[in-house]
Amino acid sequence: MELFKTYRLWDIEPVRGLGTALWDKDGKEYTDLYGGHAVISIGHSHPHYVKMLSEQLSKLGFYSNAVQNSLQKELARRLGKACGYDDYSLFLCNSGAEANENAMKLASFHTGKGRILAFGKSFHGRTSGAVAATDNPKLRSPFNATSNVTFVPLNDLDSTEKELSSGEYAGVIIEGIQGVAGIYEPSDEFLKELRRLCSAYGAMLILDEIQSGYGRTGKFFAHQFSGIRADIITTAKGMGNGFPIGGVLITPEIKAEYGMLGTTFGGNHLACTAALAVLDVIENEHLVENAAKTGEYFRTAFHPGGHLHKVLKEYRGKGLMIGLEIKDEYAGLRDRLLFEKHYFTGAAGAHVIRLLPSLTISQKTAEGFMAAVESLA
């Protein structure tokens, strides 16, 4: 048997990591400014993370959700305190797609309605309901096709209100910042009006913070820059620093019923321990503040008048969720950064480089990346 060839793979195999550094099987060192799709929030092999997971594994790695698990309760308490939603409840699952599936299901359960409003260029996952709310027909098989999701352009208030005024929508799902699309932000004004419209027309506001959450933007969740509160928030990726875990933060308005949601692996002992270790490091090392500070350093270097602005069409994003839209003549810059300068970055199409580094990134590492770009420009 061989692997199903669904990924395009670089001919590089990382075998060891520490902080923002990676080493391949031949001993070559790379700098990781992508974190495996925004997953590595506190750096590779952080000693506190390794210690906590090792100790937990030596005691108990897994048991089902049919028994008490005090780690789940501690995680709910700590996460609520960290993000400012301490009056909400938490459902634990395994991934971002699963979190979004459950969020839309909760909105439908609560309102009794069956439709979801989503936005152009959105990405919410690859499972059935999540991919139906993802604006990329290439990812949807005929089985995934649904007439229960409508897409409108991001930041188009008139189209949004026209749809919501029908009263048919259980919820609106929107990314705090669109990641896969190439780092596009809903404006603060749009989010404020969206909050008002959802309340006016009886729809749950679902904020997908899977990529944009956990301190990446300089706030715990990206939507908090606008001052609004969502009804349901989904999180994953940086939540476990590589250990699979996802979560749904749920407004007190939605009342739980036994059997409404469920999962085999969600909230297991190792996953909760990983998430608690992440929160420890984020708090103790002031990583939300570091994301804001280092993100501003990146922005300053690339802004009009900055010494690297010549390579850009546009700089997008907040904090350490960065999209660099590159001018046509620099379209091969990402490949050159990887193979000539040994920097891992992400992409969105041929002309957008995505930077999603660990929140522990130092200014020295950021300066090294700037020097690498300058040497190739």
Q: In a 3-state reduction of DSSP, which class is residue 149?
A: strand
Q: Give the C-alpha distances (Å, rounded to integers) separating 160 from 16, 173, 193, 194, 352.
A: 47, 12, 10, 8, 27
Q: Which residue has the higher pLDDT, 138 or 285?
A: 285
| Strand partners of residue 115 | 169
d(CA 244, CA 93): 9
Side chain identity at residue 122, one-letter code: S
Write down the pLDDT at residue 305.
73
pLDDT above 80: residue 146: no
Burial of 347 (0-12, 13-18, 19+ CB in 10 A): middle
Write down the pLDDT at residue 377.
83
pLDDT tens track for 49-94: 999 999 999 999 999 999 999 999 999 999 999 999 999 999 999 9
Burial of 162 (0-12, 13-18, 19+ CB in 10 A): exposed
pLDDT above 80: residue 307: no
Parallel/antiparallel/unpaired status of strands 321-326 and 343-344: unpaired
d(CA 164, CA 367): 46
Predicted TM-score of the model (pTM): 0.96
pLDDT tens track for 14-55: 999 999 999 999 999 999 999 999 999 999 999 999 999 999
Contact 294, 361 (CB under 8 A): yes
Mean pLDDT of 194-218: 98
